[in-house]
Amino acid sequence: QNATGLQVTSAVLAGMVWALENPAAGIVEADEMDFRRCLQVQMPYLGPVIGRYTDWTPLTDRPGLFPEDIDKRDPWQFRNVLVR
């Protein structure tokens, strides 16, 4: 019972509502669902949702205390966001 649990649960609820409202769609990938409708269902549980452009990358404030296998040439590589 924490914020992350509520975020995940609200996404599951939104998926269930979408499935009930679109029974003819069958099984679909998440990208095929109407994100606006899903957010409409989720917003009462999420609180304020904002988007801002920043200069943050996964390499900001890295490396930390221990050496890491990171790709400094391309900050958006998957290995730069993977937590081990």
Burial letters 34-52, b for 16+ CB under 10 A, else e: eeeebeebbeeeeeeeeee
Write down the pTM of the prediction: 0.63
> Computed from CA positions of residues 43, 47, 53, 54, in that sequence, does the dihedral angle turn out positive or negative?
negative
Distance (Å, rounded) from C-alpha 30 to C-alpha 14?
11
Distance (Å, rounded) from C-alpha 77 to C-alpha 58?
9
What tens digit of pLDDT does each residue of 28-81 get? 999 999 999 999 999 999 988 888 999 999 999 887 788 888 899 999 999 888
- What pLDDT is stored for residue 16 in this prediction? 97
